[in-house]
Each structure stands twice: as C-alpha cells, then as structure tokens.
Structure 1
Amino acid sequence: MREDEWDGVRSFDSIEFQGETRRKFTFEKKLCAYDKNAGSQLISTINEMENHLIQNEGIPVVVDLSDVKKITACGATVLFSSISLCQLETSNSFIIKVIPPTDSYAQSLFRRSGLWDAIRPGTLRKLDKLWDVKSNFQSGNDPDRHLDPTLEILQENLNCKFPDKLKEAINEAYNNIVRHAYPKEGSDTRWWQYSYINRETNKLVFCIADRGIGIPLSFKNIEQGSATKLISHAMIKGNTSTLKPYRGKGSWTMQKPVVKDIKHKLIIVSENGVYKYVDPDKELELYSLGSSFKGTLLAWEFDIGNHS
C-alpha cells in the first residue's frame, strides 16, 4: 500500500495532555476534503471525533495536526466546522485542544490564515468575534444578518467590483442552508465559511459548509442512485427537492458563476459524493470518497484577473 493510500482503519489513543487524560485524534499530512484518499481520511477522523464527543459524550480531545504539511481551503473549512460544532454541542470551550503543525510553512499558514483563531477554545462568543475582527473564517446562521458583512470583507480585499454572480450564489447558498439543510424544527441553521484571495494566481476562493442532512438525502424521495448521481441531479436547472417549479433555481444558481468560464471552478462534497465542475468543455468529475461527510461543502474558485 502506498504511503498516501488510506486503508480505512483508524486508532485513537488516550494520552495525558497538559495534566489531564484526553483522546488524541491524529490528522494526516494533507488536510483536504475532496481528494480521494486525503478527503476520506479527514472526514473519517472528524466523524469519529464528533461521535466520541457529541453522541457518546466522551472525554475531552486533542486534535493533533503535527504531521500536517498541506492545508487546503476545503480541508480547513471542514476542520473548522467540525471543531466548532463539537464546542457548541458540548457547550465546552475547552473540549478540544489543538497541537499545531510542526512543518514551518504549514504552521505559518495555520496562523496567518486565521485557522488557529477559528478553532481555538471558545463557543458563540469566539464565533461572533471572528466577524468583529473580519477574519477569513466565519460562522453564521442568518442570511439577512451575515450576507452584507461577508461581501464587505471580500470587497475590502479586492480593487475591483465584487462579481454579482458570485454574490448571488453565496446568497443562494445561505438561503438553501436555512431552508433545506436542517429540516428539524428549532435546529440552529448554522454554516461555516472561509474565503481568501491568492494574489499570485489572482484567484478568489470561497468555501462554505453546513452540517445538515446533505444534498443526497434531500433528494432521496425524488431520485434514486448514488450520492454523486443525486448531487448531479440537484445541479440541473429546474430540479428541486420541494417539487415546486418556482423553487428550482437554487442549486443551479450556485453553479451559475462558473458556467462557460474555464477559469472558474466549483467543488461540492456531500455524504460520500464529490462533484467537480472545473471546465465547461470537459465532463464533470464525479467520484465517491471512502467516508461520508455529514452535511454539504461548497467551494468556488473564481478568477479575478489582474484587477485585485
């Protein structure tokens, strides 16, 4: 078996850490949510951690990132959502402690990207502060309250007008989460997001994750098939989980910013399905992971030319 292959087996040890017994969850070298091997590893580990802390009310945890050498935007967003979810569900700021990467580049990125501030001990007050300091990492539950601050933060980092079609897609993603991701009445309709601008490549990346029922489950009563098939079905203009024609624009709106432009990309991860729209002249990349993400992750890579 190659070093980067995943055999589906995980072991989590109890250790003494800073004077108390904690269960250690070790993450692999590449923090990525959509790569076949790295994505399966990451999602399997956060699933085990969430089951341990939320379902089983287990002992506190140490998240060990010391082996991590590469942090992708999608991987960072999923990790942020998982750690924050555990902190909120247990109402314990210190339920998780983190060992940062030892690799110098990964450690620098871990801190300057804002990931450390996003996953450090804390609950709702910490999440509110991320908005106050205009962090690249944020979490919200109200589109009316959080859309404008999100766009303002992104606009501040651009020297050009913020793309209207991406604004529309982000707004639709927020509304879809609030309306469809959490069907249980009274649920916190929360999402987690990360955005950044790569000055070297002139790319704007925006990732958003919810921890709801996922796209495939919301379409199970309408269409049959694998997670990838159901995600693909959801992305066809006019298809809707409500069976109401006037409500069939949501998923298409989220893909609309990247259609007909080879410089723009969209990645979706929901359950074990991965949907990658990277080139309008090529077939979609559709494949399954070895683990199922509880929720939906959307990521846009948007070319901003030489205007940033």
Structure 2
Amino acid sequence: MKLPRVFKAAYDQDNECITIESPETLCIYNPNESYQTYRFVKYIETVIFEYGTRIHISFRNLKKITAAASLLIFARVTKCQLCLNQPSDLEITLPESKEVKKTLVESGFWNGIKPGGASKVRKLIHTNNGYISGSNHDSEHYGKVISATLINLVQNGVNFSVPSIRILTRGIQEAILNIDYHAYDKKSLANQFDQLGDSRWWQCCWLDSGNNQLVFIIYDDGVGIPHTLHAQYPELSSSQIIEEAMKVGITRTMNPERGKGSNDIIKATCTFPNSHLIVMSGNGYFKSDSEGVTTKELPFTLEGTLIQWVLDYSVEKIDDCL
C-alpha cells in the first residue's frame, strides 16, 4: 500500500487501519501550506473509498487551523461517515494543544466530525451548530439550514440589522441554489446521492469576536465552476472563468431567470466595510473587496466550489447595497 510523503501516515496491518497525522498547520490560504493541506484532506476520502480500510485521523500535533481548511475536513469526514455502513470505521484524535482543542470544540467543528452518520448530521441543524451540512432532503432543506445559521449568529452575539440579515440571507440562498442547479452531475452520481442526499453542501460560521469578524463559508463537492463553464470560455484560465461567473447574467443554462444571483453573493460584502468575498474552484481563486477584484491560480486543484464571506460586522453600510 503506497502512502503519501507530504504528511505522516502508517498502516496497522493487524487492525487493518491507516493512521494519518495532520500537519502542524492546516491552511489553504497560504501557498506554502495549501498543497500539503489539500493532500491531507483528499487522502481521508482516498483511504475510505479506494483502500476500503479503517482510518484514524490524528490531529495530535495540530498547532493552527484556518476556517476554510476546517470546513473542507468537515466535508470530507462527514461524506465518508454518510457513505460508510459503519461510521465508527473513522476514528479521530483531537489536538494536544489545549488552545486549539478549545477552538475546535467551541466552534462546533468537533460536533461536526465526531463519530456518527445521518442522524448526527441532521442533529447539527436542529442544535444550530456552527458547522452544518444540508441537502434537498426535507429534514436538511436550505430553509431550515439558514434559520439554524441565523440563530447560531444571535447566540454568539452577532446581531445584524434586519436589512443586513436579508442581504446576507439572499447571498447564502443564492450560493445554495447554484449548488442545486450547477454543482453536481446528477446522472453520474445518482447512486451516491442515495447515501449523501441530493445536492449536498457544507457550511460553517467562524467567529473572531476580538476583531468583530464573521467568516461564513459554504462548500460543495461538485464539478466546480471552471468545469461547468469551460465550454463557454475554452481559452480562459480557471480564475478568469470564476471572474466571468461572478458577473451578473452569466449562466450555463438557457433560463433567463438564472445567472443574476452573483450580485446577491457579492452584495453581502459591500454591506459591511472592510469585508471581502473569496471564491475558490478548480485551480482558480477570486477575491472581491473594496479595492476591486483579484484573481490567481491555485497551487492545487480544489474539487467543487468554496465561497467565503469575511464580514466586519462592527459597522454596516446598508444604503449602498439596497
């Protein structure tokens, strides 16, 4: 069995279990750490679905984890748990660092990745957890997920004005609708949807109360924006395709009512000064803030699409966004 070299992994033949040690830093923002981080995230799924063996994920030496990396891990772990006959085949050890362990527990990350299957995932919605996964299933519908998200924010002391809540909700709702319309090749993934749920997505709220910042991220494990729109823009790079996708009116469908929602996704950031939007998909990276738009190519290929709002909620600027 060939194990990766970019992080520690060991196979226990007697127990038929692979133990993988997380890097000390898990981050997909920093180009010096993003490749190793994403290899670690992807390997979780590889062990389960390709090797067909038990896995022990150890965060014992973890010293730092960022919001997007934590969401990708939450997505991979719960995807495996939902598809396993025995979710207990995936074991997890929390960090030795008391500070990091406290962050992972208080943020709701541990509730999201701890052992369990579909009932655990649905309980995350019912308990307004910081990490939630939804689908088109009635018990996981986006209306229930958005309500749980807003309750979680209030419980953590984030009190938006009613206009701001509406703008943020429209942005989240449009991101979820895009997943349903565009993210997955539903014909080829029909069997997987029986286990995962139709059009599944994962999201998290990461609060930095000291800086009055809310990091809200939503992720799908679909084909990705560059793949979806490649036929329309065959000469463009992944980041350039994402930039085009974020323009109002761009859609791969022929439906004139679609392709207008990117404005809702971007509008959430202009509600709060010193805020920004990041979109990652395939090899592409897109950022929109008060300085304009920045694009670049990633040093790894992200399966699916990740949308991240970083909102400074200490000051609101409603009039500019209505």
For 2:312, the equivalent position in structure 1 comes to 303
Question: Residue 13 of structure 1: which of 9, 13, 36 is its match?
Answer: 9
Q: Label 1:232 to 1:198 Cα distance change in 2 as closer, same or farther (>3 A).
A: same
Kindly state the Cα deviation for residue 153 of structure 1 after the two structures are TM-superposed.
Answer: 2.6
Q: How many Å separate the matches in 1 of 2:132 and 2:35?
A: 24
For 2:219, the equivalent position in structure 1 comes to 209
What secondary structure, in the 3-state scheme, does the structure 2 residue paired with 1:273 have?
Answer: strand
Q: How many Å separate the matches in 1 of 2:309 and 2:252?
A: 23
8 Å Cα contact 2:129/2:148 also seen in 1: no
Kindly state the Cα deviation for residue 306 of structure 1 after the two structures are TM-superposed.
Answer: 6.3
For 1:161, the equivalent position in structure 2 comes to 161
Q: How many Å separate the matches in 1 of 2:149 and 2:107?
A: 16
For 2:20, the equivalent position in structure 1 comes to 25
Question: Residue 264 of structure 1: which of 262, 266, 275 is its match?
Answer: 275
8 Å Cα contact 2:273/2:312 also seen in 1: no
Kindly state the Cα deviation for residue 60 of structure 1 after the two structures are TM-superposed.
Answer: 0.9
- Which residue type is aligned with residue 172 of structure 1? E
- Which residue type is aligned with residue 167 of structure 1? T
Q: Label 1:155 to 1:183 Cα distance change in 2 as closer, same or farther (>3 A).
A: farther
5+ unaligned residues in a row in structure 2: which ranges?
136-140, 317-322
Q: How many Å separate the matches in 1 of 2:253 and 2:128?
A: 36
Q: Label 1:155 to 1:179 Cα distance change in 2 as closer, same or farther (>3 A).
A: farther
Give yes or no for the alignment of 1:78 onto 2:72: yes
Give yes or no for the alignment of 1:127 onto 2:121: yes
Question: Residue 179 of structure 1: which of 164, 178, 181 is its match?
Answer: 181
Give yes or no for the alignment of 1:115 onto 2:109: yes
8 Å Cα contact 1:137/1:192 also seen in 2: yes
For 1:4, the equivalent position in structure 2 comes to none
8 Å Cα contact 1:261/1:280 also seen in 2: no
What secondary structure, in the 3-state scheme, does the structure 2 residue paired with 1:154 have?
Answer: helix
Question: Residue 239 of structure 1: which of 235, 250, 254 is its match?
Answer: 250
- Which residue type is aligned with residue 151 of structure 2? E
Kindly state the Cα deviation for residue 151 of structure 1 after the two structures are TM-superposed.
Answer: 2.4
Kindly state the Cα deviation for residue 209 of structure 1 after the two structures are TM-superposed.
Answer: 0.9
Q: Give CA-to-partner distance per residue, 1:113-132, whole Å, 9 cap, x none.
A: 12112111111111111122
8 Å Cα contact 1:33/1:78 also seen in 2: no
Q: How many Å separate the matches in 1 of 2:199 and 2:184?
A: 6
TM-score by length of 2: 0.84
For 2:33, the equivalent position in structure 1 comes to 38
Q: Label 1:150 to 1:112 Cα distance change in 2 as closer, same or farther (>3 A).
A: closer
For 2:296, the equivalent position in structure 1 comes to 287
For 2:319, the equivalent position in structure 1 comes to none
Q: How many Å separate the matches in 2 of 1:47 and 1:204?
A: 27
What secondary structure, in the 3-state scheme, does the structure 2 residue paired with 1:200 have?
Answer: helix
Q: How many Å separate the matches in 1 of 2:242 and 2:211?
A: 29
Q: How many Å separate the matches in 1 of 2:217 and 2:54?
A: 28
Structure with more contact order per residue of length (Cα contacts < 8 Å, sep ≥ 6): 1
Q: Label 1:250 to 1:74 Cα distance change in 2 as closer, same or farther (>3 A).
A: same
TM-score by length of 1: 0.87
Q: Label 1:105 to 1:236 Cα distance change in 2 as closer, same or farther (>3 A).
A: same
Aligned residues: 296
Mapping 1:135-154, distance limit 5 Å: 135-141=129-135, 142-154=141-153
8 Å Cα contact 2:272/2:311 also seen in 1: no
Q: Label 1:12 to 1:200 Cα distance change in 2 as closer, same or farther (>3 A).
A: closer
Percent identity among equivalent residues? 29
Kindly state the Cα deviation for residue 191 of structure 1 after the two structures are TM-superposed.
Answer: 0.8
- Which residue type is aligned with residue 124 of structure 1? A
Q: Label 1:98 to 1:154 Cα distance change in 2 as closer, same or farther (>3 A).
A: same
Q: How many Å separate the matches in 2 of 1:119 and 1:111?
A: 10
Q: How many Å separate the matches in 2 of 1:166 and 1:12?
A: 40
Q: Label 1:30 to 1:210 Cα distance change in 2 as closer, same or farther (>3 A).
A: same
Cα RMSD of the aligned pairs, angstroms, is 2.3
